Amino acid sequence: MILTIEGLTKVYGALRVVDDVSFTVPSGDIVGVIGPNGAGKSTLFSLVTGFLDAAKGQVNLDRKPIGSLSPVERARSGMVRTFQVPREFSHLTVWQNLMAATPKQSGESLTNLFFRPGRIREEEDMNSQKVDAMLDFLRLSHVAHTPAGRLSGGQKKLVELGRALMTGARLILLDEPFAGVNPVLIEEIAERIRELNAQGIGFLIIEHDLGALTRLVSTLHVMDRGRLIASGVPAEVLANKQVREAYLGGTS
Amino acid sequence: MEAYLVAMAIITAIYVLLALGLNLQYGLTGLTNFGHVGFFCIGAYTAALMGQIGIPWPISFLAGAALAALAAWPLGLVSLKLRDDYFAIVSLGFSEIVRIVVTSEQWLTKGVQGITGIPKLLGFLGTGLTQSLAVLALLIAVNVLAGLANRRIVRSPFGRMIEAIRDNEEAVKALGKDPAGFKIQVLMLGAALAGVAGGFYAHYIGYIVPEQFIPLITFYVWMAIIIGGVGRISGAFAGTLILMIFLEGSRFLRGVIPFVSEVEMASIRLGIIGLALVLFTLYRPQGLMGDYTKR
Amino acid sequence: MTAYAELMIGGLMSGLVVGLAALAITLVFGIARFANAATGDTMTAGAYVALSVSGATGSVIVGGLVGALAGAAIGVVVYFLIFRKLAGRSSVANLLASIGVAFIIRAIVGVIFEHQQQVFQLPLVRPWRILDIRVQPSDLNLAIVAVLTLATVFLILYATPVGRRMRAVADDPGLARISGISPTRVMIALWALAGSVSAVAGVMYGIKTVVTPEMGWDMLLPAFAAAILGGIGHPVGAICAGILLGTIQEMATPFVGFTYKLAISFVVLLIVLLVRPSGLFGRNEGAR
């Protein structure tokens, strides 16, 4: 699944929060976007996934423009996002969080509920096996029946990743998956992302922190004040003088 | 005394239906319906008018439920566009409009005089205790059915999804699920329950006037589900019972405390409900019975 | 034609009442960030206090002033006891509590003043006739009161330090906190102002019609509608929208009937929320 962004722009009053941003996420690739706080990274995600309307520019999925699609429709077409502040379903258990994300459940119709309970039970059993396997893969089995609201920040990020995977997404947009996560869990999450990528799932990852990201991605884009100021392989980009000034505040 | 207790139990059972509906809407889905009494009113008037021209009660109750649900449909569409607090105001306004309509359309509803002589439910049993007990038994059966249906919904993928919507609607959209259909269905379902409650009310009391359908009733029901624990089906039963014991207890109290007129007692009841709303919001938003949600 | 002109005057008067109530709602909504459903019953309380004081002193003016003070006191007390503790909670929690407050105020009013409707004892004055249109001198007095009230409110909002802070908080609560504005002092001023404005609206409404425990609650829907039509947090908008709505309601009464005039507010509320949630004069605040 190829994502192409062309000239995406978002304006609040006189402020260009996202300013003429273009890049491509090739099928099955891992691409990173870094930049200081307020660079417009999360806004970019919201524009791509349809949670905000762009002032200008185009978003294409597999070369088809999706600008007129709603967030729900974009997610259904196989591109699913997570949020910077995790949005777990806090009163549902971790297991229920993932079950809820499973697409096309006949038990979501009230009529089926009362007239086809057998079919729903079968489906639930089937989906439950998938969820159990997923929780196993994400090392979340021990908290499967804990309300998601009680998890640590890092675990919540894993739950969001798990939910995105349960939808069957081919491209997952992760908003700061490593922020506020302890170093051990960061390696854990990075490892899971690599394994999933090996199965052909593409990732677009926003990160404020550089460490884990640079080792994960093939291409790195740098945003500053709404604009892309550099793109390329991580080592090159990080050596770029402009990037060092904007992003690292000229410290070294 | 028996007759009084049965009467109180009947009213309680009617309120349980209202509470089950609101619990589905607010407790599970997070829909801030401040106009529940409007659906109750639609159900009551429909069943009363149909009863008067001799239509059997099961049909008129179903018609009342259907009309209430139908009225909830546009409101559900509106709810998709509005923030929680704006929807609360709009739904409150909706229930006031329903009351204005039944007050004004005198050709149909007799206006403020109300509809009298609504056929008694199970009237072939006479008007004594037997009839009341039969009505109570019928209501309990309906309560049990509604409770079981609610439980099936809560434990299903549908129930999981509406709770997910309550917890975080944006995240639901991000997973490719559209909250719209769920919210509208839940609003209509809760309204239908309130409509059935209205049918029982009209056919049990025997007369209805617009004054019986003031917003205070909505907040009685809110109080009941908050006391019982927001989002809990058993809480809808327990909370309603506690509320009714309080409301009826205050009637008894009047006999004990001298110099308090019924009008003053009505004011005191209103004040205590107000105080309870404030205190629960401040100190126990999750309700007395349990720590189900923290909103 | 003269009948319409008289209807128009009646509409303007009721519009001023709606506008003042909407002003109280929009101030609280803009700064404390929730729809205060106790506004209507604060009106009622103000009207009853004014009624008894003017009965005792024989002066409607003294009565009105004491009523306004009572409204301010109610606002401040309610803030300290309840809404200060609910700051940071959801707008729905605050709204629910304000409905509780509304019930409590109405209960107290009901116990103290009973439920019969009462009227302000005003000297009967022959109406003036201007171009064959009857004009009640009391209407002119009430209009003057409304204008004076508005002048005071806008003077406080735009010419005093506490008013400037209030508007700063309304514009951006985060920014205001950083810049060291004491939220408590701003909030006390806000609730005192909103309470007294509500009370004045109640007194005016009581003088125009009758005083009953339900009078304020019935004004809530039109007042909300006007506050939203004017754009939340926009004082001038609330006044203009209130006058507009009040006038439309009265002018429409001969066509839709007395009971349905309230429905006009509801329809306006719905249309504004769905079509232009920021209101006629509003800023970017959305309805979702």
Digit-by-digit pLDDT tens for chain C (288 residues) are: 677 788 888 889 999 999 999 999 999 998 888 999 999 999 999 999 999 999 899 888 999 999 999 999 999 999 999 999 998 888 999 999 999 999 999 999 999 988 788 888 877 777 777 777 777 878 888 899 999 999 999 999 999 988 888 888 777 766 656 666 667 888 899 999 999 999 999 999 999 889 999 999 989 999 999 999 998 888 899 999 999 999 998 888 888 887 888 889 899 999 999 888 777 776 544 555
Asked if residue A35 is part of any domain, the answer here is yes
CB-based contact, B112 to chain C, within 8 Å: no
Q: What is the pLDDT of residue C238?
A: 93
Spell out which residues of chain C touch residue B266, defining contact as CB-CB under 8 Å.
110
Asked if residue C278 is part of any domain, the answer here is no
Closest CA relative to residue B42, chosen from B60, B19, B28: B60
Q: What is the pLDDT of residue C181?
A: 61
Looking at the fold, whether A141 and A175 belong to one and the same domain comes out as no
Query: Model confidence at B294, in pLDDT bands (50, 70, 90)?
Result: very low
- The CA distance from B7 to B13, in Å, is 10
CB pairs under 8 A between A and B: 92
Q: Tens of pLDDT along B103-157?
A: 998 898 898 899 988 888 887 888 788 889 999 999 999 999 999 999 999 999 9
Of the residues A150, A167, A189, the one at which a domain ends: A150
Domain of residue C105 covers 2-119+126-213
Q: What's the Cα-to-Cα distance from A171 to each of A34, A53, A89, B272, C263, rounded to whole Å?
A: 18, 20, 22, 56, 50
Scanning every residue of chain A, which has its alpha carbon at the shortest distance from the alpha carbon of B291? Answer: A91
Asked if residue C233 is part of any domain, the answer here is no
Q: What's the Cα-to-Cα distance from B112 to each of A23, B92, B210, C217, rounded to whole Å?
A: 68, 20, 6, 19
Asked if residue A31 is part of any domain, the answer here is yes
Scanning every residue of chain B, which has its alpha carbon at the shortest distance from the alpha carbon of A90? Answer: B167
Q: What is the pLDDT of residue B293?
A: 43
Asked if residue C14 is part of any domain, the answer here is yes
- The CA distance from B261 to B271, in Å, is 15
Asked if residue C243 is part of any domain, the answer here is no
A119 to chain B, closest Cα gap in Å: 12
- The CA distance from B94 to B109, in Å, is 18
Asked if residue A36 is part of any domain, the answer here is yes
Looking at the fold, whether A241 and A219 belong to one and the same domain comes out as yes
Asked if residue A252 is part of any domain, the answer here is no
Looking at the fold, whether A62 and A111 belong to one and the same domain comes out as no
Across the interface, whether the CB atoms of B216 and C92 are under 8 A apart is answered no
The CA-CA-CA angle for residues B287, B290, B293, to 5°, reads: 75
Number of domains making up chain C = 1
Number of domains making up chain A = 2
What is this structure's pTM? 0.91
CB-based contact, B169 to chain C, within 8 Å: no
Which of A101, A103, A120 faces B156 most closely, judged by CB atoms? A120
The residue type at A234: P
- Residue that wins the pLDDT comparison between C63 and B266: C63
C21 to chain B, closest Cα gap in Å: 16
Closest CA relative to residue A246, chosen from A219, A230, A221, A224: A224
Answer yes or no: is pLDDT of B295 > 60.
Answer: no
C105 to chain B, closest Cα gap in Å: 7
Across the interface, whether the CB atoms of A88 and B189 are under 8 A apart is answered no
Query: A182: domain CATH number?
Result: 3.40.50.300
Which of B156, B163, B185 faces A107 most closely, judged by CB atoms? B156
Q: Which of C78, C83, C111, C267 to mutate to test the interface with B (most CBs of B within 10 A)?
A: C111
Asked if residue A227 is part of any domain, the answer here is yes
B124 CB neighbour count, 10 Å cutoff: 7
Instruction: Average the pLDDT over B184-204 and give the result.
Output: 96
B262 to chain A, closest Cα gap in Å: 44
Give the residue carrying structure tokens 């059966």. Answer: B141
Closest CA relative to residue A115, chosen from B25, B151, B152, B58: B152
CB-based contact, A100 to chain B, within 8 Å: yes
Write the DSSP string, chain C: -HHHHHHHHHHHHHHHHHHHHHHHHHHHHHHT-S--TTHHHHHHHHHHHHHHHHHHHS-HHHHHHHHHHHHHHHHHHHIIIIITTTTTS-HHHHHHHHHHHHHHHHHHHHHHH-SS-B-------PPEEETTEEE-HHHHHHHHHHHHHHHHHHHHHHHSHHHHHHHHHHH-HHHHHHTT--HHHHHHHHHHHHHHHHHHHHHHHHHHS-B-TTHHHHHHHHHHHHHHHH-TT-HHHHHHHHHHHHHHHHHHHHHH-TTTHHHHHHHHHHHHHHH-TT-SS--S----
Closest CA relative to residue B42, chosen from B13, B21, B56: B21
Q: What's the Cα-to-Cα distance from C136 to each of B157, C62, C144, C166, rounded to whole Å?
A: 65, 21, 13, 37
The low-confidence residues of chain A, meaning pLDDT below 50, are 250-252
CB-based contact, A87 to chain B, within 8 Å: yes
Q: What is the pLDDT of residue A252?
A: 39
Write the DSSP string, B227-277: HH-TT-HHHHHHHHHHHHHHHHHHHHHHHHSTT--HHHHHHHHHHHHHHHH
Scanning every residue of chain B, which has its alpha carbon at the shortest distance from the alpha carbon of C222? Answer: B93
ipTM of the complex: 0.91
Asked if residue A162 is part of any domain, the answer here is yes
B167 CB neighbour count, 10 Å cutoff: 23
Asked if residue C263 is part of any domain, the answer here is no
Asked if residue A134 is part of any domain, the answer here is yes
Looking at the fold, whether A45 and A128 belong to one and the same domain comes out as no
Across the interface, whether the CB atoms of B285 and C108 are under 8 A apart is answered no
Asked if residue C180 is part of any domain, the answer here is yes
Spell out which residues of chain C touch residue B269, defining contact as CB-CB under 8 Å.
107
Answer yes or no: is pLDDT of B289 > 80.
Answer: no
Q: What is the pLDDT of residue B254?
A: 67
CB A116, CB A55: distance < 8 Å: no
A138 to chain B, closest Cα gap in Å: 18
Answer yes or no: is pLDDT of B290 > 70.
Answer: no
Q: What is the pLDDT of residue C280?
A: 75
Domain of residue A100 covers 89-150
Looking at the fold, whether A109 and A131 belong to one and the same domain comes out as yes
Give the residue carrying structure tokens 């000239």. Answer: A7
C106 to chain B, closest Cα gap in Å: 7
Of the residues A134, A150, A166, the one at which a domain ends: A150
CB pairs under 8 A between B and C: 131
Give the residue carrying structure tokens 């028996």. Answer: B2
Burial letters C179-193, b for 16+ CB under 10 A, else e: eebebeebbbbbbbb
Which of A72, A99, A163 faces B173 most closely, judged by CB atoms? A72
Query: Model confidence at B265, in pLDDT bands (50, 70, 90)?
Result: confident
Q: Per DSSP, what are the bridge partners of residue C133?
A: C130
